[in-house]
Every structure is written in structure tokens, then in C-alpha cells.
Amino acid sequence: MQESSFRARLAEQGYDEPELIERAPGVHNPDHSHDFDVAALVLDGELVVTTAAGETTTCRAGDLFELAGGIVHSERYGERGARVLVGRRVR
């Protein structure tokens, strides 16, 4: 997905303006949840999200990832780290 399409989609779906998140190689965020929905566009690198239910999604540049608020998950960033645009929508 292109960044312009992602930004338009967020606006249409009631998300806040996206924030650029940059993570170093190999960063791991252990299990946690958010009180908001997340829509993320990977600009560069790799993001792997694993839910407490054991579902794993690997996203690379151009991939869109969405996760509803309240779902317990962990995040792991690839060997090159990652640059990710993240939109949040309060539930």
C-alpha cells in the first residue's frame, strides 16, 4: 500500500494522524495490549506481531497491519529494524 492511500484510509476510518515509529534491529516488545485500534503501514524493515492466541503476522515494506484494541500481542522488529507509520483510533 502506498503512504498516500494509507493516510486517506485512516482519515476515512476515523484514525488519528499517523505517527512515524522507528525501531532498532531486534527490538522486542513483550505481551501488551492497547486501549485503541491500530492501523500500521510498514515503510521499511520488518515487523512481526504475535497475538496471545498464537497468531503470527509478518509485515514488510508496503504491508498494512491492523489490530483491534484490547488484543494481547507482542511485537518483534527484524534484523534491519523498522520504520512504521502508526494510526490510532480510540475505541
% of the chain exceeding 70 in pLDDT: 100
pLDDT digits (tens, 9 = 90+) for 4-22: 999 999 999 999 999 999 9
CATH architecture of 3-90: Sandwich (2.60)
Question: How high is the mean pLDDT of the chain?
Answer: 96
Residues whose CB is less than 8 angstroms from the CB of residue 91 and which lie 6 or more positions away in sequence, other chains included: 35, 36, 37, 68, 69, 70
Answer with the residue of higher pLDDT: 85 or 91: 85
Residue 8 contacts residue 62 (beta carbons within 8 Å): no
Per-residue pLDDT band at 84 (split at 50, 70, 90) = very high
